[in-house]
Amino acid sequence: MPRRSGVLRWSAGIVAVAFVASGQSAAVGATGSPSGAGDFVVYGFSQSDVHEEDPQVYELDPDTTIRAIGKWSTAGDEAADYNFTQIGRYHAKGINFMGSGTASIIFPKDFATAQIFDDMSTRDADGSPVPHDEFGFPEPARRGNIFNPKYREYLLSWARIQVDGGVDGLNFDEINAGFSGGLKYGFNGNEGFDDYAIADFNRYLLAKYPTFTAADWSSRFGMTGDNILRRDVPAGDLAANFNYRDYLRAGGWNLDPLNAANPLAPEWGRVVANRMYAEDTSFTATYIRRYWKEIVDKMRAYAWRTRHRSILISSNGLWPYVDFNSVGMYPWNPDEQTPDFRGADYVPVVDGHLNGAKSLQSQYRYLKTQSVRIAGHVPVVVFIDWPNDMMTNYLNLPLQEKKDYWRIFGAEAYANGIFPAFHLKDTVGSPTATDLGMMDFFKTYTRFYKDHRAIFKDNEIGTQAVQVGAANVAASVLVQRGTGKRSIHLVNHNYGQGVTPQAGFTVKADLDSCPRRVSLISPDFPQPKSPAFSCRHGKLKLTVDRLDYYNIIQL
């Protein structure tokens, strides 16, 4: 094996791997499973180190996992690090194989010299590298700088190795995580102020305000004569042109650059980790979006040029230019405004027990709506991210309540047009699904969604009003794009350390037109039912004989 070198890892063109994976020519879907993200309805979450393999995936038999392997530090720099032969086994089962890697966490050993490590690192407003000791790693960790073209090439280098090895797709984890400031700055956003970024900031401001004169820069933003934007000097010449770090120091904002008193803070923008909101046109969003598209375009082009096929792209969170969005669920997320700022409670627990009485309908709908705005109509998948409190809460639930988590909140994801990723394995040694006694349940439970995949694909949230004659039931209407097929979904939140089924209640819905027939299906009973119904002028009424966890009314 060649000596690992930071220079080799990011020098353009150095990666030239002639590696043919076993089973590489086998088409995903050869056993009848779908071959494109738009057809996926059963997702698994199982991540292994690049040399490892998880046989649980073959037992579950999902359409795909979000990321089967993950490049981490130096593990994954070279083709010999990987167990690419498992891709053939995935394909034999008709399972899509997603490669992946961290897109932001870096360590000194990842690069040949300390100088390269420093150059790849994000920096604070004083120009110093930002440490990320909050991770608790035994060696110094930092965030990689996506504004640095050499860092972007470094990401592409390991991604190309995975494409050469035969992966069907790539998941880039935490693309924009290098802007928080970390524990050192109390996560106040003091990060990302390196030479590459502030040179781009100059370009952004010059393009946004093409007619501004020196007087305009001074009156609008308080720039001074000795540090002012100029069009006659290259934007990247930070000695002769505007230097944002100098501006921050002069204003006293170098320890808190996003301070509301800083006139340029709104122009710079506040980066939200793992989110790229469509309406955000600030500098950081504009250029991160641009560099993310560059990475995606280059990888798609590389796969087509070298492997003569397309690949799927995803990332953690809500991002444009992807084939599906995979949203990690963790505390301090931005998906709900809460008094403690911890965000949406995606794994609700009270006193160590599942809070099945809570509904996640509004949070799931928010993710669905935001993803459409950001990425268009691509699948949205939610998974319990790790290591964090939500994963700990899930792992500590009694076995029956773990199953109930998926029967209630996994079902509620399906009921609102998104998908849960059934948790099999992480890379920090947590108990696996098999260790927890969950595999038989997962295999049985997901069979329902596979058998009825046509119902769950490519749905939009309907606007039709639904009235349910029972308390603690979350109801929704889904309308399938293309076919226009409608379905009403009922999720039972009548729960207290166990579900209490509900029976003999009415469901009313205002529809555009009356259905010719109605059927009732569920993962909780084996055969479809044909409930009696009435409908006049689009006003549907029927009686549900029993709701355990989740019923679907097919129209």
Both 346 and 429 in one domain: the answer is yes
Both 446 and 364 in one domain: the answer is yes
Buried b (16+ CB within 10 A) or exposed e, 435-472: ebebbebbeebbebbeebbebbbbbebbebebebebee
In a domain, 495, yes or no: yes
Both 10 and 67 in one domain: the answer is yes
**Helix (H/G/I), strand (E/B), else coil: 257:** coil
**Confidence at residue 375, expressed as pLDDT on a 0 to 100 scale:** 97
**Helix (H/G/I), strand (E/B), else coil: 403:** helix
What is the DSSP secondary structure assignment for residue 411, as one 8-state letter? H
Q: What is the CATH number of the domain that holds 538?
A: 2.60.40.1180
**CB burial class (10 A; 0-12, 13-18, 19+) of residue 535?**
middle
In a domain, 278, yes or no: no
Both 259 and 294 in one domain: the answer is no
In a domain, 306, yes or no: yes
**Confidence at residue 481, expressed as pLDDT on a 0 to 100 scale:** 95
Kind plus residue range of the DSSP H or E element containing 448 = helix 439-451
Of 438, 456, 474, which closes a domain? Answer: 456
Of 440, 456, 472, which closes a domain? Answer: 456
Taking each helix axis from N to C terminus, what angle separates 244-251 and 195-208, rounded to the nearest 10 degrees? 90
Kind plus residue range of the DSSP H or E element containing 553 = strand 550-554
**Confidence at residue 32, expressed as pLDDT on a 0 to 100 scale:** 42
Instruction: Give the 3-state DSSP-derived string for 33-102, with helices as H, strands as E and coil as C.
Output: CCCCHHHCCCEEEECEECCCCCCHHHHHCCCEECCCEEEECCECCCHHHCCCCHHHHHHHCCCECEEEEE
**Residues of the chain predicted below pLDDT 70:** 1-35
Both 76 and 31 in one domain: the answer is yes
Look at strands 380-384 and 466-468 and give their pairing. Answer: unpaired
Both 472 and 449 in one domain: the answer is no
The span from the CA of 373 to the CA of 370, in Å, is 5
In a domain, 139, yes or no: no
In a domain, 522, yes or no: yes
Kind plus residue range of the DSSP H or E element containing 244 = helix 244-251
Both 312 and 449 in one domain: the answer is yes
For residue 492, the enclosing domain spans: 459-554
Both 333 and 426 in one domain: the answer is yes
**Confidence at residue 126, expressed as pLDDT on a 0 to 100 scale:** 98
**Confidence at residue 34, expressed as pLDDT on a 0 to 100 scale:** 54
Both 254 and 380 in one domain: the answer is no
In a domain, 425, yes or no: yes
Both 63 and 23 in one domain: the answer is yes
For 222, other C-beta atoms within 10 Å of its C-beta total 13
Q: What is the CATH number of the domain that holds 32?
A: 3.20.20
The span from the CA of 496 to the CA of 448, in Å, is 25
In a domain, 238, yes or no: yes
Both 91 and 215 in one domain: the answer is no
Both 400 and 385 in one domain: the answer is yes
**Confidence at residue 349, expressed as pLDDT on a 0 to 100 scale:** 98
For 31, other C-beta atoms within 10 Å of its C-beta total 13
The span from the CA of 106 to the CA of 73, in Å, is 6
In a domain, 283, yes or no: no
The domain tally of the chain equals 3
CA 552 vs. chain centroid, Å, equals 27
Of 408, 436, 456, which closes a domain? Answer: 456
- Beta strand segments in 224-315, E: 312-315
**Confidence at residue 24, expressed as pLDDT on a 0 to 100 scale:** 32
